[in-house]
Amino acid sequence: MRVLLLLGLVAVALCEPIRFVGDKVLRLTPGSEEDVTIIREIGHKIKVDFWKPDSPDLVTIGMNVDIHVPAAQLDMVFTILQQSGMEVKVMFENLQEAVETQMDNKMATKAHDYTKYNNWATINDWVISISSANADLISRQVIGNTYEGRPMHLLQIGKKTSSAKPAIFMDCGFHAREWITHAFCQWFIKEAVSTYGSDPEMTNLLDRMDFFVLPVFNIDGYEYTWTKDRMWRKTRSRNSGSSCIGTDPNRNFDAGWCTTGASSNPCSETYCGSSIESEIESKNLANFIRSNKSIIKSYLTIHSYSQMLLFPYSYKYDLAAHHSELLSVSQGAIAALRSLYGTRYTSGPGAVTIYPSAGGQSSTPTPWSFNQLLVLLAVWESAKSCWKMKSASSKSWSTEGSMKCSKISR
């Protein structure tokens, strides 16, 4: 009986979500090469989670380095930092409190709620519902299933015509823990269909073009952030020869694959996978792009934890052939955004503007889709470190909220 009871307690513990009571998020600012070395050693020798940059190896002098430090490691980390004299700011005193504010604690409503984070089951139902209710503007298809068998819904938004129109592709949720991105795609789709016919610019856009929107790319990882680990980032596939789970899908494409800024270690948050497009999600997306590259004119991908608009290249410092045009478009976009909300974004090639990284499709805007399409590839890095939703009537997002943030990492 005692053995059965013990096994039962172990099973319950394994099912319980990971908690972050007492964990802190620190912002470090290395002022010298010695500081950089200290931060890198912390990352390699102590179990901490790098939010910015993705890896300790990408730390450079003067950048803001944000790390999530578990409560059990705080004394050791603080001792090292105090001895170094490095500038340190505590961004979250107790990470668990911030996590709890994000969970769904509202009463259920019949209508889809765009002002809170929705889990995968809710998003899945919404995708089916909104496409059925707006059949004149939205068509839905499944571009494949995830590793765990969930359908990857893609919505095509635009006025139906007898011939194919130019299209813009947009995805959200490459990294599972970046919840604000999933919410953005839902909000965008709602805005597109609800303003068509009343807003001249949106009406003209959807009459002349289509949007392909993938509301959630890394579905398995996103589900895991709800049920087990809010800070999970990668996919949920098994890695042969390793007990570590998942691949960073944003290092899994054929663009300088597994070189600068990516890791061949399956336990790393930037693990590039066993091969190019080893992840079924990556393969499904790549196949869709390859099949529709004749009509896709722009690729937009939404990430969080910076305020940047990035474009190729990221795996090398060379400028793209159409650099001047990419820069002009990006500067126009951030100027328009600033005129509306005062939000300041930075734009430029990924390798120069943030840091070099390879194998990316999205937040590290390497040239995989750029080479496939020869069009504008842009990455919106939104929600600088925090966010708040304005009232539904304001029809806008703000990234200038309190520090109770959407995670928040790339």
Left, alpha or beta for 26 (phi > 0: left; psi -120 to 50: alpha)?
beta
| Enzyme catalytic residues | 381
Q: SS3 of 39, please?
A: helix
272: tokens are 């590039």
Q: Which amino acid is at 108?
A: A
Starting at the edge strand found earlier in the chain, the sheet holding 87-92 runs 49-52, 65-69, 24-29, 87-92
The dihedral built from the CA positions of residue 70, 71, 76 and 81, taken in this order, carries a sign that is: positive
Q: Which amino acid is at 185?
A: C
CA dihedral defined by 330, 332, 336, 342, rounded to 10 degrees?
A: 70
Q: What angle (nearest 5°) sits at the alpha carbon of residue 298, between those of residues 135 and 357?
A: 125
Q: SS3 of 131, please?
A: helix
How many angstroms separate the Cα of 213 from the Cα of each of 3, 101, 330, 360? 51, 28, 20, 19
- Distance separating alpha carbons of residues 167 and 88, to the nearest angstrom: 46
The half-sphere exposure of 143 on its side-chain side, counting CA atoms within 13 A, is 26
Q: Which helix (H) or strand (E) holds 241?
A: none
List beta partners, residue 299.
169, 377
- Distance separating alpha carbons of residues 42 and 240, to the nearest angstrom: 28
How many angstroms separate the Cα of 164 from the Cα of each of 119, 211, 214, 227? 33, 12, 19, 40
The dihedral built from the CA positions of residue 351, 302, 381 and 22, taken in this order, carries a sign that is: negative
- Distance separating alpha carbons of residues 220 and 389, to the nearest angstrom: 25
